[in-house]
Chain A
Amino acid sequence: MAKKHGQHRGQKAKARPMPIPPRAAAEPGSGTGAGSGAGAGTAEKAAPRRPSWWFDLTIDRDHLAVLRFAFFALLAVDAFLQLSHAPRYGAGDFNVPHFAWLPLPAPSRTAMVVIDLTMTYLFALAALGVATRLVVPLGAALFNYAYFVSQLDSYQHHYLVAMLLIIASFIPWHARTPEVRSWALRLFTVQLALLYLWAALAKLEPRWLDGSTLKLQLRPAWIRDLVGDHWALVAKAVIVGELAVAGLWLWRRGWLLALPLGVGFHVSVELAEFKIGQFSYIMIAIYTLAVPTAIAAWPARALGRVTARLPRGALPVAIGALALALAAGAGLLVAAPLGGGAAVIALTAAVAVAALALDRRWAVGVAHVVGCAAILTLGHVTDQAVDHYRLWAGSANRLGKPAEVRQAAEALIALDSVSGPGRYYLGALAYDAGDLDAALSHFRLGQRGDPRSPRLHVGEARVLLARGDRAGARAAAERALALDPKHREARSILVQTRGETPAPPPGSGAGADAESDVDGERDRE
């Protein structure tokens, strides 16, 4: 590799972003056009150098733009969707990093919120192609910290994204030439090939080959019906498919063949309902690299036509636009259900100012507003903010942190005054403090927002029982049992209303019982 690279050392030394010189060589047989046509006379004079497989991969700018938009837009969404998991970091003052020798600061809920939101913003800017030389490496650094700091995130696809982002930091996303040569893009495809290769090799064992593992993992009935008794055949086909795609990613012309195979495979994985987050979508986004040039050119050129009509302002205009954008961005983040507070406002503003220093266009200001608006929009169209506080309250409750339970519950109430989980935890805290009136009020308000939650009726039953209102307690317990006939606490209260066993006194810590602990996280590996 070093020898091959040495052959074109003189050309590479100057070169990031490595725009293609008129006579730059494409990959042998790639047919990407960078090496054909103009400049043939010059080539006759100089000895033609042998193209390097590693260093001379070329791609048209349209493909790069489509990949950039699809890949980073999905990463922005994926980063935001990590917010609900942030409360697990630092909970119970316990953490196991992926590598104990890495000197990473210990994670915390607050820090992870700031990191997830900042990543959302950075990837939104990257998707828009603004200051990619700054925002992509910054996003890569934050993503790698968030992944490697704790084994709580052991998603293989997040490890893949961590690696791809490191490589993506060296891809010349900002290149303005029609075709771009990039060693980093080659490494990007090699990383994909290695992923498929190892995934295939891992399956070369009897438990996969006989189809038994696949049979256990595939749940949807229609897929099971489709496969019938051919589990071993399908299991072997998966291996062959993965090996084929691994090989095809290493061959420029093969990308087109990898497209139906790879997309078909990842669509199947998604239809099979594996709990793998955004993995399938991110992989399909990466396959935009392999779509025919005419298809890749269409969205990129449509966007180009729009941006070409926009006025080009001088630097003072760009500065003014950014000043306005910073104010607008701060407003959007304050209005977001989980905006991260002053830290995220300050960090995003600092990134925007640095971006303007690199990329002196008024588009930086627009991108800043879009990045902040993405946080606001995702906050409203997803359940991440509610899930974040709900899971925090549940976790803090289990770990015996009443102050944190209150903080999380009050945040839920701020989002929705009749939030079921919020009112439940506040009611449980009030019950434990002996404030039965407040507890009853919280449980009843919660029922308005979440009438299908048995624990709110159980809470009301417990308060009424403590007050000596056996008839009321019985009615509330029966409502809980109508929603969940197996609810043991409701059954227990029903027995107590008959006077057979005494009710637990308020303050006994029974406010939030174990059975009502439904605010737990799903498996995440």
Chain B
Amino acid sequence: MSWAELRRRLPSWQAAFIAAFVTLQVVGPMHYYCVRKDKHDERFAWRMFSPMRMLDCGSSGRQDGGKVEFTVDGAPVALGKIFHEGWITIARRGRIEVIEAMGQRLCELHPGKEVKVDLVCVEVDGRREQRGGFDLCKVPEI
């Protein structure tokens, strides 16, 4: 097969681009439903105004609401003195990837100490979900 014939048979770069783009926009949201372990993380899934958006992991400030509390050797951490409040807001929406990264940052700042997170999230229907409670410096994934 000549180069010219091969080029004729292969899809054009525009067709390849369209195929890649549409595949991305199908696989991205499918990833949320089929693979993603953190259902609180709705990025790239086009889940506009979904029930998960109403998740409360401390954002409501209610006593019976959720919470994200870090401790270092048992002492509570004032997150606002270490992390920009933008990150604290995202953590209070229950995004595990960010909470884990915050844990790793605390491990870096406090080498040799035990860093724990106590994460409680309340869903829109009142269901409560609890995570953490172990040393993130030894087991970095919650």
Contact = CB atoms under 8 A, between A and B. Distances in A.
Interface of A: 1-2, 5-6, 9, 12-13, 54-55, 85, 88, 91-92, 94, 96, 98, 151-152, 154, 156, 159, 163, 166-167, 170, 183, 187, 190-191, 194-195, 198-199, 201-203, 205, 207-208, 212-214, 216-217, 274, 395, 398-400, 520-521, 523-525
A98 B84 CA distance: 17
Nearest to B80: A398
A2 B15 contact: yes
A9 B8 contact: yes
A202 B46 contact: yes
Contacts of B12: 5, 9, 12-13
Contacts of A398: 80-81, 85
A81 to B, nearest CB: 16
A198 B46 contact: yes
What 7 A-B pairs come out closest when comparing CB atoms?
A: A198-B46, A207-B51, A91-B84, A202-B47, A2-B11, A213-B51, A88-B86
A330 B84 CA distance: 33
A309 to B, nearest CB: 38
B17 to A, nearest CB: 8
A1 B25 contact: no
Nearest to B54: A216
A152 B85 CA distance: 10
A520 B46 contact: no
A199 B83 contact: no
23 contacts: A2-B11, A54-B18, A88-B85, A92-B84, A94-B83, A94-B101, A94-B105, A96-B87, A152-B86, A152-B87, A152-B90, A156-B46, A159-B43, A163-B21, A194-B26, A198-B46, A199-B46, A199-B47, A208-B51, A212-B51, A212-B124, A216-B124, A398-B80
B45 to A, nearest CB: 7
A202 B50 contact: yes
B129 to A, nearest CB: 15
* Secondary structure class of chain B's binding surface, majority of residues: helix
- Interface core residue of B15, B47, B49 (most chain A CB under 10 Å): B49
A207 B124 contact: yes
Given A159-B44, A198-B45, A198-B46, 7 more contacts: A1-B19, A9-B12, A94-B87, A96-B101, A187-B22, A213-B51, A217-B53
Interface in B23-72: 25-26, 29, 42-51, 53-54, 59
Contact of B50 (A183, A187, A203, A523): A203
Contacts of B29: 198, 201
Interface in B80-99: 80-87, 89-90, 93, 95, 97-98
A47 B46 CA distance: 43
A237 to B, nearest CB: 14
Interface residues of B, number: 46
A86 to B, nearest CB: 11
Interface of B: 8-9, 11-12, 14-15, 17-19, 21-22, 25-26, 29, 42-51, 53-54, 59, 80-87, 89-90, 93, 95, 97-98, 101-102, 105, 124-125
A199 B48 contact: yes
Contacts of B81: 398-400
Contact of B45 (A1, A202, A212): A202
A151 B80 contact: no
B90 A525 contact: yes
A198 B50 contact: no
A94 B87 CA distance: 9
Nearest to A202: B47
Contacts of A213: 49-51, 54, 124
Q: Which of A55, A92, A94, A399 has the most CB of B within 10 A?
A: A94
Contact of B18 (A1, A92, A163, A203): A1
Contact of A524 (B51, B86, B98, B101): B86
B21 A187 contact: yes
A199 B15 CA distance: 26
A166 B48 CA distance: 21
Contacts of B8: 6, 9
Nearest to A205: B51
A395 B84 contact: yes
A208 B8 CA distance: 49
B46 A195 contact: yes
Most A CB contacts (10 A, CB to CB) among B21, B26, B85 go to B85
A55 B14 contact: yes
A1 B15 contact: yes
